Amino acid sequence: MKTRLPFLIAGPILRKVTPNELVFWLVTSKPLKGHFSLHLEPEQGQIFSEDLNSCSQLQIGSHCYLTLAHFRGEFPANVALSYEFHTDQGALSQLYPELLYGDETRLTFKISTQADYILHGSCRNPHHPSSDALVSADNKVATLPIEERPDMLMMSGDQIYADHVAGPTLDAIIQTIGLLGLPDERYGEAPISSATELFSHADCYYGRDKILPHYVDDGSLLTKLFPHRNTPIFSSREAENHLVSFSEFFAMYLLVWSPTLWPLLNTSRLHDNKFTQAGQELEPKWQQKWREEKAIIDQFVTGLPQVQRLFAHIPTYMIFDDHDVTDDWNLTIGWEKAAYSNPFSNRIIGNGLIAYWLCQGWGNEPDNFNQEFMSVATRFLSEPGERYQDEFIQYLYTFERWHYTIHTSPKVVVLDTRTRRWRSESRMNKPSGLMDWEALIEFQHELMHQDKVVVVSAAPMFGVKVIEAMQKAATMAAQPLLIDAENWMAHPGSANTLLSIFTHTKTPTNFVILSGDVHYSFAYDIKLRFRRSSPNIYQITCSGFKNQFPEPLLAGCDHADRLLYSPRSPLNFLTKRKRLKIKKRDPNTSGRRRLVNTSAIGELKLDSHGKPQRISILTGEGVEWDFPPIEEK
């Protein structure tokens, strides 16, 4: 019996909104036809309408259509608005009333010219046992009048974990590919000839690390001593279910952002003894792991209706970090050389980037993707095959417009810290700078003559110094991948250029830096040493939405950092950031911990000068913790 697919597969996600542009992202099982309408609330009538034929619509599979609805006009700002997609299947909010808050009759939102109230965070791992903080955010938004809702949600990386996938999630992904008719994929130089062959391979589940490519020369002393030692290109320590095909990457986005496909999937095949891999049962240890993961995934799925609702009401912006593609993506030039010279790993990384563009990057700033870009993209999507796929991937590798700016007050500058790296010229396995000189100069130009700015950097610009010291030790031991030696201070060129930007006389008076990546939360107040007119710099980190740092390791790092790197410690003068005086805010949690280790979403409220009025986190359990100003402690 053929499964009847729901019309709406994922979305709508409210993306870029300005007084002149509205951008929405959604995926449907049939072509999106009809018209879009915009209304003043409450019940003040329609103010804008446009035919959906004007929208960019791409067919991803035989039953899968992705639409980026990009409308231009003159739209009222800072007032309550509502919108509706009137489709040939019916009005979207009537078809799916669970998308609505309270007594809404249409989906509501506001176009903010300010960025005074920002939700932010990163790192959402579906099978981590912590609670999903996006569900807590939806619970809070549901209680707020439209005018008091956050101005935006900023997701600063690891929206998916492509390199760390649970067995039940991978099974759901493969079933989704079949349901939607997503394209197969062929490989020229790989242990498998196609994605279809991978799905029936004995190592498809919990064994993909054996299929993923390896290399020999990583430039380390260990390789020189043992020249035939094979090293995995993909450095994730949990790569046994690493995504490979484009369709897998794309399907994962649908499954972590929307609940609509999950009821159609048989997620109990292992329990019903109907699940085999290449005709055989999984090994007992993997069966046990599957059961443990499934219990967590089942709980994750129960929160997806609220996540879908949150995305439909709050302008949502995104930028990648490594797990959106693979762990340690572009960390060293040696890693890049190995990964991009191997056709199989080159394809896998490219597949992650294609899916990122479709599901994240495109909606941030559609005008970054010109006609040339779109022609290369649509040629592949209309005729999936090795030739056009590889052409698109090579085009993406040369693309340099993933970063973008949100022109609110304060201006929000979102950095690409993954693809424009400052490569080390001394050693192949030395960490690259997170941005090269040219990208940093472009960043500085965005800051010039601004009195206040919010900067979004996936990795903290100013992190926990004792952890950075551990990363440096790993680098000196030629093992930068061991503990992700990835921080702004790891590369002298990018570190010094970044610090020079902060000391420039024409850059803002108030900097707020929002970051994620590290799986814990903290807040710093930073001043320049030996300067009377220092800018105010605030580093605010919230991570992850659904992830945590291992305990008690973090407790030890927290204690050591307070002991060794207090603001008055002479050890600070031995670091690259010796020109800065960093004061660490104490959260109002119990105990003396400054690093808060819980799943959470950050809440930032700014005053009219761009200085934080309130720095807080909302945990996955629904508890709010503040980082009060230091002078109040």
Burial grade of 85 (CB within 10 A; 0-12, 13-18, 19 or more): buried
pLDDT surpassing 80 at residue 469: no
Is residue 531 within 8 A of residue 135, CB to CB? The reply is no
Of 401, 434, 462, the domain-final residue: 401
Average pLDDT over residues 239-252: 97
| pLDDT at res. 453 | 97
| Strand pairing class (45-51; 34-40) | antiparallel
- Between residues 531 and 245, which one has the greater pLDDT? 245
| Predicted TM-score of the model (pTM) | 0.95
What is the rounded distance in angstroms from the CA atom of residue 54 to the CA atom of residue 33?
A: 10
User: Which pLDDT band, with edges at 50, 70 and 90, does 591 fall under?
Assistant: confident
Q: Does any domain span residue 310? A: no
- Over range 191-212, report the average pLDDT: 96
Report the alpha-carbon angle 97-120-561, nearest 5: 145
Nearest to 352 by CA among 256, 213, 249, 198: 249
CATH of the domain at 527: 3.60.21
* pLDDT one-digit tens code per residue, 31-79: 999 999 999 998 789 999 999 999 999 999 999 999 999 999 999 999 9
Per-residue pLDDT at 482 exceeds 70: no
Least confident of 177-191, 255-269, 415-429: 415-429
In angstroms, the CA 539 to CA 450 distance is 18
Q: pLDDT digits over 80-124, tens only?
A: 999 999 999 999 999 999 999 999 999 999 999 999 999 999 999
My answer on whether 470 and 366 are in the same domain is no
Predicted pLDDT of residue 78 = 97
Mean pLDDT of 5-16: 98
Residue 450 has pLDDT above 90, yes or no: yes
Tell me: do 241 and 280 sit in the same domain: yes
**516 and 606 co-located in one domain:** yes
Instruction: Tell whether 426 and 277 lie within a shared domain.
Output: no
Report pLDDT for 481: 58
Give the whole-angstrom CA distance, residue 30 versus residue 27.
9
Q: Confidence class of residue 592 from pLDDT cuts 50, 70 and 90? A: confident
Last residue of a domain, one of 354, 372, 401: 401
- What mean pLDDT comes out for the span 450-465? 94
> Is it the case that residue 405 has pLDDT exceeding 90?
yes
Q: Is residue 314 part of a domain?
A: no
- Domain membership of residue 57 (yes or no) is yes
Structure confidence by residue, pLDDT tens digits, 267-297: 877 776 667 777 778 999 999 999 999 999 9
Mean pLDDT for the stretch of residues 523-551: 91
Mean pLDDT of 140-149: 97
**What pLDDT sits at residue 217?**
56
Structural domain containing residue 93: 8-111
Does the pLDDT value for residue 228 go beyond 90? no
Alpha helices in 83-186 (DSSP H): 92-95, 133-141, 167-180
Residues 268 and 340 in one domain: yes
Q: Summarize the confidence of residues 124-151 as an average pLDDT.
A: 98
* pLDDT score for 15: 98
- 540 and 448 housed in the same domain: yes
Asked if pLDDT for residue 198 goes beyond 70, the answer is: yes
Average pLDDT score over residue span 449-473: 88
Please report whether residue 142 resides in a domain.
Answer: yes
Both 131 and 239 in one domain: the answer is no
Residues 522 and 464 sit within 8 Å (Cβ to Cβ): yes
| Terminal-residue alpha carbon distance, the chain | 66
- Establish if 341 belongs to a structural domain: yes
Contact 65, 29 (CB under 8 A): yes
Q: What is the mean pLDDT of residues 457-486?
A: 75
pLDDT for 72 equals 97
User: What is the pLDDT, as a whole number, of residue 489?
Assistant: 84
Quote the number of domains for the chain. Answer: 3
Supply the pLDDT for residue 226. Answer: 47
As a whole-number percent, the residues of the chain with pLDDT over 90 amount to 76
User: In the predicted model, is pLDDT for residue 473 greater than 90?
Assistant: no
467, containing H or E segment: helix 465-476
Q: Give the chain's mean pLDDT.
A: 92
Residues 96 and 241 in one domain: no
SS3 string of 113-176?
CECCEEEEECCECCCCCCCCHHHHHHHHHCCCCHHHCCCEEEECCCCCCCCCCCHHHHHHHHHH
Spatial separation of the C-alpha atoms in residues 207 and 430, rounded to whole Å: 30
Q: Are 297 and 126 in contact (CB under 8 A)?
A: yes
Name the least confident of 327-336, 353-362, 405-414, 615-624. 327-336
> Mean pLDDT throughout 331-359?
96
> Which pLDDT score is estimated for 477?
63
- Of 381, 401, 421, the one marking the end of a domain is 401
Within this chain, do residues 328 and 408 fall inside the same structural domain, yes or no?
no
